Chains A and B, each alone.
Chain A
């Protein structure tokens, strides 16, 4: 073990602020699926009860002797207690319902929003559109939807408090998505892309009508949860899918507006970037310094990210899911050491899983990741 001179919370906060570290902090992105499997439960069983499901995550933490931070607390969603917060138009399918009891919750890529909906969003804003179309997207009575949202936030606060008692900093007190991400999962990637080509002005007008509601909601959620950070999910706007010309018009300005608004409220943004954003990395230098965590899933070149973003923002990632699922502890340790050597040089790095810890992760591989952060510091 290395001699530690910082608490876990101090270490996480210093990593975000690019300050000197006693060692690199470790903060896996862990949801309910791996801990459920590790308990011997089906994923459906883990999902079925909030407290029980969250306890499974906490038990993994205890089993491995703890780590420094959580990117999200684990089980619940940080939603504001408004009707619109409980209405999600994207189609998801769940284990034990549409899927087998051991499967993962996934998006079913279907066209849910129409061109007529675009018109409504422009006129009503995003939240107004959701409320007006409540019965279409969520047929439950309004009071039950609001009750669900309140329960989620209560559980979220409970999870954050739990981590605080363990000395662990949760980076995200709220969670939101960029307008492009929302439209892509509700229109489908293909139809959204066609819209960008055929009716770009309309798409832009829709995004303009969405972004302020998304910002206000996330700020409110972070205020209620009490943790000064927002996870901003962007999985479909990067160079893997789109040219920089499209990125510059339909993703970057909205991302920038959101991150700047959050920073203006003193909130850190954790940019959850799935798929390859290597081409987009230079744009991130325009974002507020020391207020953003660039969280990568192993498809973006994390070493290139360090070259570009060094001294500007913290990077988190990116132990690949395939490695923790199929590799050996020695291979995981070697990769983590390489990350600490290169991306951890000068600080500004949080060792994390590439996206979420996979459901079939080997516990000894996760242990190797946590242990490497605690025992290896060449700087």
Chain B
């Protein structure tokens, strides 16, 4: 029995995964089927991470492989109606350029079926608010590794409160420096420094 995409993704077999995706797309296979298989692979990675068989490094590598495979698939997805668990707007707030945790979370969330809008790092408050107004996400996520990002995260939440739009979104913060004290200060709904715990929060939020 030959290897499957979910197995290969869970084993970080980059050559196999990317070759299979290219080959099957060229043969005219429905791209959405490949997306589902990749998502199944990400589920397996998640299970291994939760059972401590895998660590963050393995999660990061498989999430990166998922992102590479999706880059091949996305051009063929145009016009396809995809089921999404919900929309997430994410970024690292002004003053903080750390990218690692955010990138891992973005890929993991995409792998689970969320539509993720990554605003990048060092993102000003106004850009968060503009993106939230335009994209209308169910979830706003902030990544934070240093304390100066606390204030701009709070400013985004405060602005949503002032506009009477706070109840329309769930807000989650994550990163090495984040604690329950920070969650309360920012006014977020959840905090974590574990990408998969963050994903579980998002699934819960998206399911209402």
Contacts and interface: CB of A to CB of B under 8 A. Distances in A.
Contacts of B86: none
A342 interface: no
Interface string B148-185: 10110000000000000000000000001111011001
Contacts of A93: 97
A322 B179 contact: yes
B147 A242 contact: no
B83 interface: no
Contact of A194 (B54, B61, B176, B182): B61
Contacts of A321: 147, 177
Contacts of A96: none
Interface stretch (A62-70, A98-106, A210-218, A264-272): A98-106
Interface stretch (A79-87, A154-162, A307-315, A323-331): A323-331
A193 B60 contact: yes
Contact of B57 (A100, A242, A275): A242
Among B64, B148, B151, B181, max chain A CB count under 10 A is at B148
A53 interface: no
Interface residues of A, number: 34
Among A100, A106, A275, max chain B CB count under 10 A is at A106
Of the four ranges (under 10, 10 to 19, 20 to 34, 35 or more), the interface on chain B belongs to 20 to 34
Interface in B100-117: 100
Interface in A101-153: 102-104, 106, 108-109
Contacts of A274: 176
A123 B76 CA distance: 46
A103 B148 contact: yes
A199 interface: no
B179 A108 contact: no
B60 A322 contact: no
A360 interface: yes
A321 B144 CA distance: 12
B201 interface: no
11 contacts: A99-B95, A103-B148, A106-B96, A109-B99, A189-B60, A242-B57, A243-B58, A299-B193, A322-B177, A326-B182, A327-B181
Given A109-B100, A193-B60, A326-B150, 10 more contacts: A99-B97, A102-B148, A109-B99, A190-B100, A194-B61, A196-B57, A240-B56, A242-B57, A322-B182, A326-B181
